[in-house]
Amino acid sequence: MRILKEDCTGLVIDLQERLFPHMHQYQSLLQRTRVLIEGLKLLQVQIMVTEQYPKGLGPTLEPVRLALNEIPAIQKTAFSCCDEPSFSGEAGKLSRRTWIICGIETHVCVLQTVTDLISMNHVPVVVADATSSRNPLDKQVALERMRQEGAIVTTTESILFELARVSGTALFKSISNLVK
């Protein structure tokens, strides 16, 4: 199945100040997430962002917030974004079926959101190098489960080039510079 940018929405799940430093390989996670966000913006893919209980976990991490250019975060207490009425309301307004997903933690909020999106006949595309958990085994098992449930698992560079489709354009050059 080919993933087309015209049918995509980006989803950044819970990259928050107090939880983020506890993620496995968090520096790499931050770098890949920023590349993904910048690439989606270049491709003109709409992006949504969530925060899990910001009173306890803090706001979205500042470098991520800056990359998102003031896209307002949807606050939630449910683990699955789909269980949050304000998220469901906004998502319901979109006619796009494919969700490009990054965030934390892979085995909790990302997993539950992905399985709910699948049950709603959406196509979740989980960007493995832009997700993390505190424990690498939790992430690995969650990615395997999501794949078994029907999610597509990919990497930042792979999805950005797939969405760009062709080389030799200004867009391709911009994305190439991002992923270097």
Q: Which CATH number fits domain 5-179: 3.40.50.12780, 3.30.465.10, 3.40.50.850, 3.90.1300.10?
A: 3.40.50.850
Look at residue 89 in the predicted model and tell me its pLDDT. Answer: 84
Dihedral sign computed on CA atoms, order 40, 45, 46, 49 = negative
Model-wide pTM > 0.85: yes
**C-alpha distances in Å from residue 168, one per residue of 126, 145, 171, 175:** 27, 37, 8, 11
Per-residue 3-state assignment (H helix, E strand, C coil) for the chain: CCCCHHHEEEEEECCECCCHHHCCCHHHHHHHHHHHHHHHHHCCCEEEEEEECHHHHCCECHHHHHHCCCCCEEEECCCCHHHCHHHHHHHHCCCCCEEEEEEECHHHHHHHHHHHHHHCCCEEEEEEEEEECCCHHHHHHHHHHHHHHCCEEECHHHHHHHHHCCCCCHHHHHHHHHHC
Q: Which residues, at least 6 apart from 25, have a Cβ–Cβ distance to it below 8 Å?
A: 132
Look at residue 99 in the predicted model and tell me its pLDDT. Answer: 97
Catalytic residues, by residue number, are 14, 76, 109
Look at residue 137 in the predicted model and tell me its pLDDT. Answer: 98
Per-residue tens of pLDDT for the chain, all 180 residues: 789 999 999 999 999 999 999 999 999 999 999 999 999 999 999 999 999 999 999 999 999 999 999 899 999 999 999 999 999 888 878 888 999 999 999 999 999 999 999 999 999 999 999 999 999 999 999 999 999 999 999 999 999 999 999 999 999 999 999 998
Look at residue 74 in the predicted model and tell me its pLDDT. Answer: 95
Look at residue 35 in the predicted model and tell me its pLDDT. Answer: 97
Look at residue 1 in the predicted model and tell me its pLDDT. Answer: 77
Look at residue 88 in the predicted model and tell me its pLDDT. Answer: 86
| Residue count (the chain) | 180
